[in-house]
A and B are shown apart, each in its own frame.
Chain A
Amino acid sequence: MTALLCAAALALSFAESALPSAAFMLPGSKPGLSNTAVMFAALSLGWAQTFMIVAAKAVFALITRGAAAALMSLCGGVLSALCMLLLFKKAKGVGCIGTGVLSALCHNAGQLAAAAALMKSGAVAGYAPVLVLVSVVTGIVTGSVLKAALPYFSKIIKAKEMEK
């Protein structure tokens, strides 16, 4: 199941990078669709599986886009995964969309921190205003996608358990 989700996350990452990004996106922003797979793992599977998917995404970034991208993916991914896990496991009443928005914010905060460390410069904060607003939009999108996909994912899980 984890492998399946890893594959889904990587496929979404790849599909996203193939989009004509310059046309409609602001600097440094991506829709973050692969995070729906991470969110599903946080919601339905455990801590270990969630972080395995984050690690797979970072390795994928390392192979396709280099070390800097991998570090940024890892920092953002770990922070947003923590946020999702805590919200899903501990917080009552926060839905998919709220979790999507908060985890998108965490993801961007982690990436900015990684970029600041790589560049040895605090001025990356200049991107923060744009990223906060973009996070709201992408968070709503990923949250909605997760909500829509949830019944199908759950069916697959049940089918897998029946096989055992």
Chain B
Amino acid sequence: MKKLITSKDFIIIAAALMLGAALFLARGFSSQGETVVVKYNGEVEKTFPLNGEYYEITVNSVVIRRENNEVYVADSDCEDKTCVRSGKLSKKGDAAFCVPNRVSVEIEGKGANSPDAMTW
């Protein structure tokens, strides 16, 4: 372990970057979502269409808001706020999670019960 970075390190970094880029591309080409599924503790709590007027629902202290045909977590009482920082969701497979509150917001495409998060 003399060198800071070895040739194998470069290969690992390059491979990881390509994997990340591929996943991002797959996400970019993902189709527009249609249905918003809000789950609490793994059970579907509420389902509503992605497109529509301003709408807000609170599930176990997680405030979920629909605005301009996008859905986002507006507020949560958890500490890490990962769900809030997940940003706006509109594509099939997009999701926001609040693990401490066991609430998830998932966007599904056509065929609302498809478990697939990604389309190729």
Report B-chain residues with C-beta under 8 Å of the C-beta of A122: 115, 117
B42 touching A121 by the CB < 8 A rule?
Answer: yes
* Stretch from A2-10, A50-58, A94-102, A155-163 that touches the partner: A94-102
Within 8 A of A (CB), among B52-101: 79-83, 85-87, 93-97, 99-100
Whether A27 sits at the interface, judged by CB under 8 Å, is yes
- Nearest CB of chain B from residue A75's CB, rounded to whole Å: 12
Q: Would you give the shortest CB distance from A64 to chain B, in whole angstroms?
A: 9
Asked if B23 is at the interface (CB within 8 A of a chain A CB), the reply is yes
Whether the Cβ atoms of A125 and B4 lie closer than 8 Å is no
Question: What string of 1s and 0s marks CB contacts (under 8 Å) between A75-91 and chain B?
Answer: 00000000000000001
List residues 113-128 of chain A with CB under 8 A from any CB of chain B.
115, 118-128
Query: Known: A96-B4, A118-B99, A123-B104. Contact between A128 and B9, CB under 8 A?
Result: no
Chain A contact residues: helix, strand, loop or mixed? helix
The size of the chain A interface, using a CB distance under 8 A, is: 45
Separation of A93 and B11 alpha carbons in the complex (Å): 11
- In the assembled complex, which residues on chain B have CB atoms less than 8 Å from the CB atom of A66? 100
Kindly list chain A residues whose C-beta atoms are within 8 Å of the C-beta of B94: 126
B34-65 residues at the A interface, CB under 8 angstroms:
39, 41-42
Shortest CB-to-CB span from B24 to chain A, Å, is 5
Can you list 7 contacts pairing A with B, beta carbon distance less than 8 Å? A66-B100, A97-B6, A98-B8, A105-B16, A123-B104, A123-B106, A132-B23
Known contacts A98-B9, A127-B86; 11 further A-B pairs (Cβ under 8 A): A27-B82, A27-B85, A68-B99, A95-B1, A101-B13, A115-B99, A119-B102, A120-B42, A122-B115, A126-B117, A129-B27
The list of the 3 closest CB pairs from A to B, nearest first, reads: A120-B42, A98-B9, A129-B23
